[in-house]
Amino acid sequence: MDLHAMDRYIKSMIKEAGHKIRNSFLSDISIESKSDANDLVTNIDKEIEQFFISNINRDFPEHRIFGEEGFGDDIRDHHGVIWLLDPIDGTMNFVHQKRNFAISLGIYEEGVGKLGYIYDVVNDDLYHGVQDGGAYYNDERLKNLNDTSIEESILAMNATWAVPNRYFDHNATLKLIQDVRGIRSYGSAALELAYLASGRIDAYISMRLSPWDIAGGMVIAREVGAIATNFKGEPGNLLKQDTFLAANPSIHSRILENYIQAK
């Protein structure tokens, strides 16, 4: 793969998709529920996924696509080149807030992350990473993450930690909240990974994410030294849903060991 040529192609496709999404604010959007009443999908999620797929199929017919809305391929292995796509990450924010959502895209070859993109559509902010080529916020190179401590960290997580669950002992959760400097909840896993990579937060934790939520962000975060694993400390296989912790390397293992029950 010529990563530079691919990068130019992908950036132009992502910007065009962003333009379509911003235009959609001018017309009526149809909203449906998926697995439960709060798990939303719109016609725009579907149209944007189909836009990417028709371009990729035309220009890279041998590549496969793993997309949230299911218009791509049935992916069960890592062979060849796979595009992991979430056309809108943060659909609830898209519907309710018209901001705080992103296009998330990762390109993997034989299971190795080559290119990653997170596009904050409303702010026109593009984060991207190239394997061994660094991570970027727009065209500014992101610095390697500096060491930090739990006490000086801002941690992003959604509010499901407050509901009894199998991963957090309630007292350990309260201790984590007390120990860190602050908690944030943005509602888009992709943006949360972009914020980790750009040093605005120090860790992001989620009990259940899908491959397309994190594929792009993992390439970007890896390039600045962040560590991403599931709650067992394993790298995760990007084929199915899993638990997820991405963090500054100086606090990743401390969060896993001191606050999370691996299951």
Residue recorded with tokens 């018209």 = 98
Q: State how far the Cα of 145 lies from the Cα of 96, in Å rounded to an integer.
A: 33
Residue 211, interface with ligand 2AM (CB under 6 A)? Answer: no
Q: Residue 65: which of ligand 2AM, Ca ion, none does it interact with, CB under 5 to 8 A by kind?
A: none
Other CB atoms within 10 A of residue 207 CB: 19
Which residue of the chain is nearest Ca ion when measured via CB? 89
Establish how many alpha carbons lie within 13 A of residue 240's alpha carbon, considering only the half-sphere containing its beta carbon.
Answer: 1
Helix axis angle, 189-197 to 211-223, nearest 10°:
0
How far is the C-alpha of 17 from the C-alpha of 56, rounded, in Å? Answer: 13
Report the partner that residue 90 touches, choosing among Ca ion, ligand 2AM, none (CB closer than 5 to 8 A by kind).
ligand 2AM
Strands (E), the chain: 31-33, 40-42, 64-67, 81-89, 102-109, 112-120, 125-130, 134-137, 140-141, 154-157, 182-184, 203-209, 227-229, 242-247
Count H helices and E strands in the chain, helices first. Answer: 7, 14
Q: Which residues bind Ca ion (CB under 5 A)?
A: 68, 86, 88-89, 213
69 near ligand 2AM (CB under 6 A): no
Task: Give the Cα separation of 33 and 110 in Å (integer).
Answer: 34
- Min CB(53)–Ca ion separation in Å: 14
3-state SS, residue 123? coil
With 0-12 / 13-18 / 19 or more C-beta atoms within 10 angstroms meaning exposed / middle / buried, residue 103 is buried
Smallest distance from ligand 2AM to CB 79, Å: 25
* Closest approach of ligand 2AM to the CB of residue 250, in Å: 25
213 near ligand 2AM, judged by CB under 6 A: yes
**Interacting residue with ligand 2AM among 39, 59, 147, 234 (CB under 6 A):** 39
Strands 64-67 and 81-89: parallel
173 binds, among Ca ion, ligand 2AM, none (CB under 5 to 8 A by kind): none
Residue 42 makes contact with ligand 2AM by CB under 6 A: no
* Nearest distance from C-beta of residue 141 to ligand 2AM, angstroms: 26
Residue of 21, 46, 56, 91 that binds ligand 2AM (CB under 6 A): 91
100 binds ligand 2AM (CB under 6 A): no
49 touches ligand 2AM by CB under 6 A: no
- Of the candidate spans 75-83, 186-194, 225-233, 252-260, the one that interacts with ligand 2AM by CB under 6 A turns out to be 186-194
When asked if residue 158 is in the footprint of ligand 2AM (CB under 6 A), the reply is: yes
Q: Which residues of the chain form contacts with ligand 2AM (CB under 6 A)? A: 35, 39, 68, 86, 89-91, 158, 187-189, 208-210, 213
